[in-house]
């Protein structure tokens, strides 16, 4: 198996398998504390996914794949005759940890299918598959970095939303991988990153990754994006995705849809960067994508400090759906689709 490669602009790994357990960089503590936590069970991993210790669609899929290894070890030890049934229950529990990112279900389905064919101790073969899922994601990100950066004409800047970097993936990143590639080739000079309310993935995570990689960047309030586009400071908006429906509709972090609408109005191009594990052919269109609604407190409070007036209620959808018609380019590791449609996506997935 090829070893994980670190390019000049890729210095972070948030999900790692060490000896017999999973190690996660606790993303709730960033950017002020780089604290790692060790996990030894599927239950603890599901909790870590729910609580945003690990987040980002590909990263939660990879963490869940490693969780299946730990669940299989436990099931085989306790019930050597009946381990598969026990494992299925743990896989179902992991699937329910977050609803929108389909990479979670995709990785768990792959682990589940592999478990079906195993005779004897399942730990080693499942660990090999989890490591492959992890490495394939990194390879896909490097490939998408090449393909996506090739679409960008030399320009001052690009805008991104949420965190799509090494922290959100196996490494390097989806949208941030394209940005890393474009910067390292001298195609872009500057990155604008939305702070991304209410979890601040932009301020706490993307800005941290960009500073670490010495890529010049400005953070902006989510509501400043339209003004930025009007001033002509960005040529592309580049985002990741949590699930892409068969017709090309794109679910991503809340706020992405407004960026796409604003980009079209201002003549700024809109690029979605996602591995094919994010494409869900079983979900026909964006209306069918389950959108996670998170607790009100995430909006009413900032860093545990109450901001909103007491007795205020808040609505906190974590994702929104951008219609395919607003997407100029969908970049996957299998190739680029311009102006995605159901037919083009079906052909790409069949290739
Ligand atoms: O709620 P999060 O932080 O898990 O949401 C993450 C995103 O929306 C990312 O943009 C998405 O997963 C694509 S990135 C690899």
| Distance between CA atoms of residues 18 and 20, nearest Å | 6
Is 2 a residue whose pLDDT tops 80? no
> Per-residue pLDDT tens for 308-323?
999 999 999 999 999 9
Domain match, 213 and 240 both: yes
Is 6 a residue whose pLDDT tops 80? no
58 CB near ligand 1 (under 6 Å): yes
How much is the pLDDT for 4?
59
| Higher local confidence (pLDDT), 85 or 1 | 85
Residue 341, domain member (yes or no): yes
Segment 140-162 shows an average pLDDT of 97
269 CB near ligand 1 (under 6 Å): no
Residue 262, domain member (yes or no): yes
Catalytic residues: 242
Is 272 a residue whose pLDDT tops 60? yes
Residue 148, domain member (yes or no): no
Give backbone dihedrals phi and psi of 108, rounded to 5 degrees, phi first.
Answer: -70, -40
Decide: residue 317, CB within 10 A, 0-12 exposed, 13-18 middle, 19+ buried. exposed
**Given ligand 1 and candidates 61, 253, 254, which is best to mutate, with the most ligand atoms within 8 Å of its CB?**
253
How much is the pLDDT for 344?
98
Closest atom, ligand 1, to C-alpha of 174? 15
Domain match, 132 and 235 both: no
Residue 5, domain member (yes or no): no
Residue 93, domain member (yes or no): yes
Which residue range(s) make up the domain with 130? 15-140
Where residue 266 falls (left for φ over 0; alpha for ψ -120 to 50; beta otherwise) is: alpha
| Distance between CA atoms of residues 189 and 186, nearest Å | 7
- Domain count for the chain: 2
ipTM score above 0.90: yes
33 to each of 9, 29, 45, 97, 204, how far by Cα in Å?
A: 21, 5, 20, 25, 11
CATH number for the domain including 222? 3.40.50.10470
Domain match, 135 and 158 both: no
Residues 6+ apart with CB under 8 A from 248: 324, 327, 330, 337, 340, 341, 342, 344, 345
278 to each of 58, 101, 105, how far by Cα in Å?
A: 8, 7, 10
CB 208 within 8 A of CB 308: no
129 CB near ligand 1 (under 6 Å): no
Domain match, 187 and 268 both: yes
> Per-residue pLDDT tens for 87-116?
999 999 999 999 999 999 999 999 999 999
Domain match, 65 and 163 both: no
User: How far, in Å, is the centroid of ligand 1 from the Cα of 161?
Assistant: 9
How much is the pLDDT for 147?
98
- Please report which confidence band the pLDDT of residue 12 belongs to, taking 50, 70 and 90 as the band edges: confident
Domain match, 185 and 299 both: yes
Domain match, 328 and 300 both: yes
Domain match, 246 and 200 both: yes
Decide: residue 105, CB within 10 A, 0-12 exposed, 13-18 middle, 19+ buried. buried
8 is in an annotated binding site: no
User: How far, in Å, is the centroid of ligand 1 from the Cα of 351?
Assistant: 26
> Per-residue pLDDT tens for 38-55?
999 999 999 999 999 999
How much is the pLDDT for 156?
86
């Amino acid at each position: 198996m090829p070893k994980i490669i670190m390019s000049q602009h890729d210095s972070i790994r948030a999900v790692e398998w060490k000896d017999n357990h999973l190690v996660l960089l606790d993303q709730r503590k960033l950017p002020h504390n780089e604290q790692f936590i060790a996990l030894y069970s599927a239950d603890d991993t599901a909790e870590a996914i729910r609580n945003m210790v690990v987040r980002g669609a590909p990263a939660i899929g990879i963490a869940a794949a490693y969780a299946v290894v730990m669940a299989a070890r436990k099931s085989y030890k306790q019930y050597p005759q009946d381990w598969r049934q026990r494992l299925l229950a743990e896989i179902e529990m992991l699937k329910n940890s977050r609803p929108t990112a389909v990479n979670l279900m995709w990785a768990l389905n792959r682990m589940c299918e592999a478990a079906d064919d195993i005779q004897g101790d399942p730990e080693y073969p499942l660990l090999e598959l989890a490591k492959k899922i992890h490495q394939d994601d990194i390879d896909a990100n490097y490939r998408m970095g090449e393909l996506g950066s090739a679409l960008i004409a030399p320009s001052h800047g690009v805008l991104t939303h949420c965190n799509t970097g090494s922290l959100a993936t196996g490494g390097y990143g989806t949208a941030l991988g394209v940005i890393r590639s474009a910067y390292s080739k001298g195609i872009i000079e500057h990155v604008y990153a939305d702070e991304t309310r209410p979890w601040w993935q932009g301020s706490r995570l993307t800005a941290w990754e960009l500073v670490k990689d010495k890529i010049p960047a400005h953070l902006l309030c989510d509501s400043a994006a339209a003004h930025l586009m009007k001033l002509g400071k960005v040529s592309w908006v580049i985002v990741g995705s949590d699930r892409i429906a068969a017709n090309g509709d794109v679910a991503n972090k809340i706020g992405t849809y407004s960026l796409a609408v604003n980009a079209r109005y201002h003549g700024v191009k809109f690029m979605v960067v996602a591995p094919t594990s994010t494409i869900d052919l079983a979900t026909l269109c964006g209306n069918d994508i389950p959108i996670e609604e998170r607790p009100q407190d995430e909006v009413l409070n900032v860093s545990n400090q109450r901001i909103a007036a007491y007795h205020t209620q808040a609505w906190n959808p974590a994702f929104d759906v951008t219609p395919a018609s607003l997407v100029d380019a969908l970049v996957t590791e299998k190739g680029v689709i311009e102006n995605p449609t159901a037919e083009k996506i079906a052909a790409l997935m069949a290739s």
